[in-house]
Amino acid sequence: MKAFIQSLPKVELHLHIEGTLEPELMFDLAKRNNVPIPFNSIDEVKAAYNFHNLQSFLDIYFQGTDVLIKEQDFFDLTWAYLLRCKEDNVHHTEVFFDPQAHTERGVNFDTVINGIHEALVKANNELGISSKLIMCFLRHLDEEAAFHTLESALKHKDKIIAVGLDSTEVGNPASKFERVFAQAIEQGFLTVAHAGEEGSASNIVEALNLLKITRIDHGVRCSDDEILVEQLAKDRIPLTVCPLSNIKLKVFEQMEQHNIVSLLRKGVCVTINSDDPAYFGGYMTDNFMAVHNAHSMEKSEIVQFTLNAIEASFISNYEKKRLRGVVEDYVSLA
């Protein structure tokens, strides 16, 4: 099954580019940019990746971003991730970036987006990997900062498909960003949001109603509200689930307790994604394998995760049909 999963065509919909910063690249960039980091070795970095909840991870994640300063750094970070996509047979990826994690440190918005975008274009040309870019607002910052970030994004509208919401969920309700999301929608952006990762099922309902999101990032706490699960299944509202992340951040104690397979069987449009793979121990194939190892599944169910991701993606209907064909061809020959 490992070979089948490795070669299965995949689509990733929940990936923070800053969360792909591998310790080796962190050290290289720290040296290149002369930025001090509180680690003496790669082993020390890995030992620090021992999280007890979302916040304990975010503290380390934002610290890691300090080494990213120049356009070339954002290019190198993104290119390294795209090479990993090639290994895992990811055909299409929708990438989050956190501009405020950089502009807060004095790095220019344009530097960030241009470096990322250049790597995405190169991957399309040279690796055959298509992509979309999603700009996230940090929910621990205020509404004014989000409006300012949206303003900076307007001249790059052609490079950004959607806006999202990430960082500390508990204590930072969707309502805080209702007006900035309304403005983003007016400007033509689609909307997504992290909800129901650590926070309750009611956060999912609130994000759907107030932020008009078309898919939910994580959303696994929906299982606390059976009526919501029925609505998600009936309306095919997608969840971008990140199995290894959920274990590392103690959303579930063990993969055997993860609800992704049970949601799939209830008809919810669940997808498998890697979130912050450099921190959580694996990219796409690793996430598929972790779910497969903990839950007995038919081959057709494993394939359904990719079909769901194609359905939930922001590509055109024509592209969706083409990608479904790629998956069907693979399955018929495997």
> Could you count the other beta carbons within 10 Å of the beta carbon of residue 166?
26
> Could you count the other beta carbons within 10 Å of the beta carbon of residue 288?
25
Per-position DSSP letters for 148-205, written without gaps between them: HHHHHHGGGGGG--EEEEES--TT--GGGGHHHHHHHHHTT-EEEEEESSSS-HHHHH
Nearer to Zn ion, 19 or 115 (CB): 19
The 3-state DSSP class for residue 133 equals strand
Nearer to ligand ADE, 8 or 309 (CB): 309
- 19: contact with ligand ADE by CB under 6 A: yes
Which of ligand ADE, Zn ion, none does residue 184 bind (CB under 5 to 8 Å by kind)?
none
Based on the residue annotation, tell me whether 178 is a catalytic residue of this protein.
no
192 closest CA partner among 179, 173, 211? 211
Nearer to ligand ADE, 76 or 276 (CB): 276
Query: Of the residues 94, 197, 198, 206, which is catalytic?
Result: 197
Nearer to ligand ADE, 150 or 244 (CB): 244
| DSSP-derived secondary structure letter, 111 | H
- 92: contact with ligand ADE by CB under 6 A: no
**Contacts to Zn ion by CB under 5 A:** 275
Could you tell me the CA-to-CA distances from 10 to 69, 181, 184, 204, 301 in Å, in that order?
31, 29, 29, 26, 14
Smallest gap, in angstroms, from Cβ of residue 18 to Zn ion?
10
- Dist. CA 81–CA 49, nearest whole Å: 19
Nearer to ligand ADE, 73 or 197 (CB): 197
Smallest gap, in angstroms, from Cβ of residue 20 to ligand ADE?
11
Bridge partners for 191 per DSSP:
163
The 3-state DSSP class for residue 15 equals strand
- 304: contact with ligand ADE by CB under 6 A: no
The residue from 16, 117, 258, 292 that contacts ligand ADE (CB under 6 A) is: 16
- Dist. CA 5–CA 178, nearest whole Å: 39
- 166: contact with ligand ADE by CB under 6 A: yes
The residue from 15, 54, 307, 309 that contacts ligand ADE (CB under 6 A) is: 54
Smallest gap, in angstroms, from Cβ of residue 70 to Zn ion?
25
Smallest gap, in angstroms, from Cβ of residue 174 to ligand ADE?
13
- 167: contact with ligand ADE by CB under 6 A: yes
- Dist. CA 263–CA 69, nearest whole Å: 41
Residue nearest to Zn ion (CB): 275
Smallest gap, in angstroms, from Cβ of residue 85 to Zn ion?
17
Task: By CB under 6 A, name the binding residues for ligand ADE.
Answer: 16, 19, 54, 61, 166-167, 194, 197, 245, 275-276
**Which residues are annotated as catalytic?**
197
